[in-house]
Amino acid sequence: MEHAESDLKKIIKSNIHLEIEHVQTIIYNLICAIKYLHESNVLHRDLKPANVLINEDCTVKLCDFGLARSLAGVESAAMILSKVDIDKDMGNLAKKPAKGFSFEEGDSSGSESAGIIEKFKTKM
């Protein structure tokens, strides 16, 4: 596996301020990764910020598949994993990668970004 610069847990706990485009791109890429897994009949079962690797270009990679399970042969798999059209259901989320951001702490690029990080912290 290629080297990833950080994970979502480190970004949430750091002083890094993300622009709204970065947050949208990270969320969109994360949802696409989960959709890919589910279309392959795989459940991760251990999704948490520490298992979401992120690069400066907002590329997302999932890791730690130790608890993952296959749904192949499970009769109720269709009920567990319903196919969704990400582009239709995601509304206004970014569908193209945002410009890169720096992992250097202390960058104060705006109070809006700080508010988004606080929302991440309270939700996770």
Print pLDDT tens along the chain (124 aa).
Answer: 678 889 999 999 999 888 999 999 999 999 999 999 988 889 899 999 999 999 988 899 999 999 988 887 665 555 555 554 555 555 544 444 455 555 544 444 434 444 444 544 444 3
Q: Which residues are catalytic?
A: 46
Just give the CATH number of 6-81+109-123. 1.10.510.10
pLDDT at position 102, please? Answer: 52
Query: Domain segments of the chain: what residues?
Result: 6-81+109-123
**pTM, full prediction:** 0.60
Closest CA to 16 of 121, 122, 102: 102
